[in-house]
Amino acid sequence: MNGVLVIDKPPGITSHDVVNQVRRILGQKAVGHMGTLDPMASGVLPLVAGSLTRLAQFYVKAEKTYEGEMGFGFATDTYDAEGEPATAPVPVSLDRGRVEAVAADFRGLIEQTPPPFSAKKIHGVPAYKLARGQKEVKLDPVSVEIKELEILEVQADRARFRARVSSGTYLRSIAHDMGRRLGCGAHLSSLRRTAVGEFTQADALTLDRLAEQAQAGELAGCFIHPRKLLPQFPAVTADDAAAAMIRSGRSVNLPEFSSARMVKVFLGQGELIAMATRVAGTLFHARIVLQG
């Protein structure tokens, strides 16, 4: 089974837990996810299966969209609702104008320090392992882009928001830093991812639904149609001769794509066989072969 499917991850389990469940449902080991979601978070988790696991490299920098809620009045050691309070709780009654003004300062390119309880590595060791062991966690700031941060609603000590961000952005850090700026402390109380690259909630299946489709022998309909993948790259349909050349590692001439840097190569309408890069002029060579 080679393809991409999107799971609606429930809160309370890790992204790796989802991968393990999908491996059992599909009956194959070659399954991976494209972009970790924190255990407390829910929503869009794209998975790659079979030979298409090699497509994951093209989604490393995929833009992500979220909706969530920040709780104000105290910070936590994990920057979310699952952590221990790191500051004493204080009564809070937020002014929406002030919250929106602070949120505006986080839009655009910013330097962000990841949470101590994160998968960022320090000398090869994930930061969360050091934090759990009560060891010092010192993470360097990284550049991220907050393309959208909209405050949807403010009620007393809570604010709902929508955010569209570059890969590597921690919404937990945004909540924590906003609480510090407001002087009252804050944490991320809930989070749902609504999109990763071209994948949205409309594409997502629950794990239960995927299992039902497997039992009914209808898994094929669960996968995203290959023509919808990586829309930023043009697609070419190869004939049998060109497909054989690509699969054997030889370069092919694609005169209609003289200005493209990379193309998706299909055999027929639904079989994505390779991602090819331009060598020179109209000559293309397979960067990765997906179907042998």
Strand partners, 195: 65, 200
CA distance to 35, 74, 264, per residue, from 85 (Å):
28, 7, 49
Q: Among 67, 66, 79, which residue's Cα sits nearest to residue 177?
A: 79
Please state, in angstroms and rounded to a whole number, the distance separating the CA atoms of residues 55 and 57: 5
CA distance to 54, 137, 177, 178, per residue, from 75 (Å):
39, 17, 10, 10
- Rounded to the nearest angstrom, the gap between the alpha carbon of residue 111 and the centroid of all alpha carbons in its chain is 20
Please state, in angstroms and rounded to a whole number, the distance separating the CA atoms of residues 126 and 164: 26
The secondary element (H helix, E strand) that includes residue 109 is strand 108-112
Active-site residue (options: 8, 17, 38, 157)? 38
Burial 204-218 (b: 16+ CB within 10 A, else e): bbebeebeebbeeee
Residue 203 falls in the annotated catalytic set:
no
Please state, in angstroms and rounded to a whole number, the distance separating the CA atoms of residues 268 and 178: 51
Active site residues: 38
